[in-house]
Amino acid sequence: MKSFSLRDVGNEAKLLLIGLPVLIWTLLPIYHLVLFAISPKQDAFAGKLWPDHPTLHNFGIVFRQQHYFLRDFWAQFWNSTVIALAVGALTLFIATCAAFAISRLRVPGGRTVMNLALFTYFIPAAFLAVPMYRTMGNYGLLNNHWSLIFAMVTIASPYAIWVLKQASDKLPVELDEAAIMDGATPMQLFRLVYLPLMLPSLVAIGTYAVLLAWNEYLYAFLLLSKDTEITLPVALGNFLAADDSPWELLMTTGLIYALPPAAMYYAFRRYMVGGLTAGAVKS
């Protein structure tokens, strides 16, 4: 560390001049969300920066489903959870198998599959949504959780395969050769050598897929419609349609919905940052 000097103080001040606006810019919408959740209705609507009487009352209303808009809160929470976990598991399965086949077994046509996956990764999600909606209709899957699960697996897999393939390529080929010498079948190689070594990347990709599915609004909004079948973000969007939206409850529900992904992100941050950004853009 450098020694303390006047120049350092100046530097520090300049950095603070950037840091402070960045902090406010980043946290303001989130702070406003929290503020609403802990404010009684009249405080929230009076434009206060801190409520006179902070309360957890709103959370009680949401958890006990004591409002017309919240009748199905727990069902919707459950739907979000099940769909996110299913997407995480399916994506991991599909992507791990594909990455192993492409990178380690060097299956013929593997490169083509990789390119197809990359192509999917680059289709803007909102553009695929329109034909996807019709396709799900043709398959008879509309208003069925499977439609959203498949849609999200389709969107999550390409990037998952890409990141896992990048990580697979880094494993030394000698490990495979040694295992094959010892008479390992490809499946034993997969289970006993490959999966344990790939664990950190698998955690990153699993988290990525779960978060993607949990956070998804557009596809959920298009593909599901029954109040008891929709996910939380769709329910939040439906709040908006009303003329007299109970905003304090909307924000409280929004905060409850935003907490699990934030917690998950911070829990797996170590894996996420390395695993995801490395594959995002190869410099």
Partner 1 sequence: MTAITLSSPEATPQRPWTSRLTTTQVWGLALLAPYILVFAAFVVYPVSYGLWLARHPASYVALYNDPIFARAAVNTLIFLIVGINLKMLIALALSGFFIQQRAWIRWLSVLFILPWAVPSIPTILSVRFMFNPEWGVVNHLIFKLTGEDGPNWLNDPAIALTMAIGMHIWKSLPFWTLILMTGRLAIPQDQFEAAEVDGASGWQKFRFVTWPAMRTLYMTCTLLSMIWTLGDFNSVYLLTGGGPADLTHVLATLGIRYLRLDQLDLSMAAIVCALPLVLPLVYFMMKRLSR
Q: What residues from 158 to 187 belong to the interface with partner 1 (CB under 8 A)?
A: 161-162, 169-170, 172-173, 177, 180-181, 185-187
Measured distance CA(115)–CA(247) in Å, rounded: 45
* Phi, psi (rounded to 5 degrees) for 76: -70, -40
CB-based burial label for 219 (10 Å; 0-12, 13-18, 19+):
buried
| Identified binder of partner 1 from the candidate list 143, 154, 175, 197, rule CB under 8 A | 154
Which residues inside 215-274 make contact with partner 1, applying CB under 8 A?
215, 217-218, 222, 233, 236-237, 240, 247, 250-251, 254-255, 257-258, 261-262, 265-266, 269, 273
Measured over the CA atoms of residue 168, residue 169, residue 170 and residue 172, the dihedral's sign is positive
76 binds partner 1 per the rule CB under 8 A: no
| Identified binder of partner 1 from the candidate list 4, 7, 13, 25, rule CB under 8 A | 25
199 binds partner 1 per the rule CB under 8 A: no
87 binds partner 1 per the rule CB under 8 A: no
Helix (H, G, I), strand (E, B) or coil at 178: helix
Segment contacting partner 1 by CB under 8 A, of 20-28, 54-62, 66-74, 195-203: 20-28
| Identified binder of partner 1 from the candidate list 58, 76, 157, 201, rule CB under 8 A | 157
203 binds partner 1 per the rule CB under 8 A: no
- Among the listed residues 47, 73, 46, the one whose alpha carbon sits nearest the alpha carbon of residue 58: 73
Beta carbons within 8 Å of 124's beta carbon, 6+ residues apart: none
Measured distance CA(73)–CA(254) in Å, rounded: 11
| Identified binder of partner 1 from the candidate list 4, 6, 7, 127, rule CB under 8 A | 127
The nearest distance, CB 233 to partner 1, in angstroms, is 5
Site size toward partner 1, by CB under 8 A? 107
Look up tokens 């959870």; give the residue. 81
Six token digits for residue 144: 């069925």
